[in-house]
């Protein structure tokens, strides 16, 4: 008489029963594979990084290293006024990069985004200045202009199957001429006189409003995550451990609190303060970016449309066979990209005080692509997040701000371009290495 230890005649029966249970309860099997503790989540994250899923790590490390280097080299680099300048400087590039993330997810490229964005901003400025339209009509008009252009570019790419490089390069050249026509060939630019359009770049919330916004944002984040956990628990799916949720919420609250505190430091000089003039508060552009992060991030990760974008970017043929409307998805990403480029152009116009012929034709587009790639979006498609554009935009803004003050002399701009190009090459190399590691 012997005791069965699971290695005798009953073992196959038991294994079959387990397999049958797992087949009938796939959610339970998936739940077992997802870390349910804080330590398990941390170990799982480390395994992902070692396997090539670096995510935002290079961008975060790069930003910290640059802050340390420039902070040590320049006494005023970490001053509140310079940090505000970096945040505002990053806004136009970041918003354009957000739109480019959708295009890059499909393995496409839009070389016309910079020129199209400036042309759309010129259209909005003309509506405001020459036709007396209110600011919201100018903004909607610019976004509509960009959306129509994106629809045309997307249709040419999706329906006629012209490579996106050729389509958008042609638009890059052509819309420099369209921009001149919109502005008026007899003038070199159109000025932005509407205060609201001007404040898209320079406007700032009151200090109290900044703190209220932070509290509301953190509370909404916690509420949404708890609701998602409850919904997943009802379906028998794995949930985010409360310890992990609490740690994430605390990190958002701490980072947001430091950010709001720095933005609320008064940068006005003594005579301005005596006159009741203050320069403080969270920039409007940061609020716009936060809103876009929530809306676009939700669209990309929590909707059917977002899943279809990733599916097409991962394997177009498989997505087509699965019934996904590939042509519509391909067209829509160009519409989104051009519409966000229009908003980026308006914010840049607020910074410059207007739109001049030739705006957007320089490194505007290339810097936006660099921001998305530096943040973690792959140039090969199938991998990217909206937050990548924000992280990459901040890294570039830190780099540009620090170099412009650190490098002086006749060749300063040359060295600045060389360094920016090297940073983009480094980001592309990290993407290539991580992709190879995942394989």
The verdict on residue 406 lying in a domain is: no
The verdict on residue 177 lying in a domain is: yes
Tokens of 131: 């036709």
Per-residue confidence (pLDDT) for residue 282, from 0 to 100: 95
The 3-state secondary structure of 274-327, one letter per residue:
HCCCCCCCCEHHHHHHHHHHHHHHHHHHHCHHHHHHHHHHHCHHHHHHCCCCHH
The dihedral through the CA atoms of 233, 302, 92, 289 has a sign that is negative
d(CA 293, CA 312): 22
Per-residue confidence (pLDDT) for residue 34, from 0 to 100: 60
The verdict on residue 360 lying in a domain is: yes
The verdict on residue 426 lying in a domain is: no
Which residues contact residue 250 at a Cβ distance below 8 angstroms, ignoring those fewer than 6 apart? none
How many residues are recorded in the chain? 439
Per-residue confidence (pLDDT) for residue 439, from 0 to 100: 64
d(CA 223, CA 241): 14
Q: Do 366 and 165 meet the contact criterion of CB atoms below 8 Å apart?
A: no
DSSP 13-51: HHHHHHHHHHHH-HHHHHHHHS--SHHHHHHHHHHHHHT
Tokens of 438: 């995942």
Rg of the chain's alpha carbons, rounded to an integer?
25
> pTM score, two decimals?
0.86
Q: Do 400 and 371 meet the contact criterion of CB atoms below 8 Å apart?
A: no
Q: State the DSSP code for 56.
A: T
**Count of domains in the chain?**
1
Which residues contact residue 382 at a Cβ distance below 8 angstroms, ignoring those fewer than 6 apart? 105, 107, 310, 313, 314
Per-residue confidence (pLDDT) for residue 345, from 0 to 100: 94
d(CA 419, CA 415): 6
The distance of Cα 15 from the centroid of its chain, to the nearest Å, equals 47
d(CA 35, CA 253): 24
Which residues contact residue 122 at a Cβ distance below 8 angstroms, ignoring those fewer than 6 apart? 179, 182, 183, 190, 345, 349, 355, 359
The dihedral through the CA atoms of 368, 369, 373, 374 has a sign that is negative
The domain of 295 spans 81-203+283-396
d(CA 71, CA 55): 26
Q: State the DSSP code for 188.
A: S
d(CA 374, CA 203): 28
Pairing of strands 354-356, 189-191: antiparallel
Q: 168: buried, middle or exposed (CB in 10 Å: 19+, 13-18, 0-12)?
A: buried
The verdict on residue 4 lying in a domain is: no
The verdict on residue 268 lying in a domain is: no
Beta strands in 17-156 (DSSP E): none
The verdict on residue 180 lying in a domain is: yes
The verdict on residue 418 lying in a domain is: no
Per-residue confidence (pLDDT) for residue 130, from 0 to 100: 86
What are the mean pLDDT values of the chain's consecutive 10-residue runs (439 residues total)? 43 42 39 62 73 75 90 88 93 95 94 94 91 93 96 94 94 93 75 89 94 96 92 85 90 95 85 74 95 94 93 91 93 96 94 86 85 88 90 91 78 79 78 68
C-alpha pair distances (Å), 44 with each of 33, 37, 49, 50? 10, 10, 9, 10
Q: H or E stretch including 194?
A: none
DSSP helix/strand/coil, 6: coil
Per-residue confidence (pLDDT) for residue 223, from 0 to 100: 95
Max CA-CA distance within the chain?
Answer: 104
d(CA 41, CA 323): 35
């Amino acid at each position: 008489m012997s005791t069965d230890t699971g290695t005798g005649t009953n073992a196959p029966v038991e294994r079959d029963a387990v397999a049958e249970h797992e087949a009938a309860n796939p959610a339970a099997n998936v739940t077992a594979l997802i870390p349910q503790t804080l330590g398990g989540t941390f170990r799982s994250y480390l395994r992902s990084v070692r396997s090539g899923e670096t995510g935002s790590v290079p961008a975060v490390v790069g930003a910290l290293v640059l802050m340390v280097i420039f902070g040590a080299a320049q006494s005023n680099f970490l001053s509140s006024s310079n940090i505000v300048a970096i945040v505002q400087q990053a806004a136009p590039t970041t918003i354009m990069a957000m739109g480019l993330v959708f295009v890059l997810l499909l393995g496409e490229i839009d070389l016309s985004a910079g020129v199209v964005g400036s042309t759309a901003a010129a259209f909005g400025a003309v509506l405001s200045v020459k036709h007396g339209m209110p600011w919201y009509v100018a903004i909607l008009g610019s976004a509509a202009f960009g959306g129509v252009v994106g629809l045309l570019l997307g249709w040419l790419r999706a329906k006629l199957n012209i490579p996106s490089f050729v389509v958008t390069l042609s638009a890059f050249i052509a819309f420099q001429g369209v921009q001149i026509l919109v502005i008026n060939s007899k003038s070199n630019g159109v000025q932005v006189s509407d205060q609201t359009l001007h404040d898209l770049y320079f406007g700032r919330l009151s200090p109290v409003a900044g703190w209220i916004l932070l509290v509301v944002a953190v509370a909404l984040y916690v509420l949404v995550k708890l609701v998602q956990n409850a919904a997943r628990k009802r379906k028998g799916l794995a949930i985010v451990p409360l310890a992990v949720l609490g740690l994430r919420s605390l990190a958002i609250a701490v980072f947001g609190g430091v950010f709001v505190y720095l933005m609320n430091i008064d940068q006005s000089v003594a005579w301005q303060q005596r006159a009741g003039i203050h320069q403080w508060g969270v920039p409007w552009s940061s609020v716009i970016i936060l809103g876009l992060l929530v809306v676009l991030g939700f669209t990309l990760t929590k909707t059917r449309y977002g899943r279809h974008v990733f599916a097409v970017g991962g394997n177009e043929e498989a997505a087509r066979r699965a019934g996904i409307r590939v042509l519509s998805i391909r067209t829509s990403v160009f519409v989104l990209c051009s519409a966000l480029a229009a908003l980026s152009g308006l914010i840049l116009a607020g910074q410059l005080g207007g739109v001049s012929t030739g705006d957007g034709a320089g490194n505007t587009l290339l810097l936006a692509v660099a921001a998305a790639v530096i943040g973690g979006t792959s140039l090969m498609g199938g991998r990217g997040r909206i937050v990548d554009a924000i992280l990459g935009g901040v890294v570039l803004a830190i780099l540009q701000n620090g170099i412009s003050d650190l490098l002086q002399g006749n060749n300063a701009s040359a060295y600045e371009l060389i360094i920016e190009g090297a940073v983009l090459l480094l980001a592309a190399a990290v993407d290539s290495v991580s992709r190879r590691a995942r394989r």
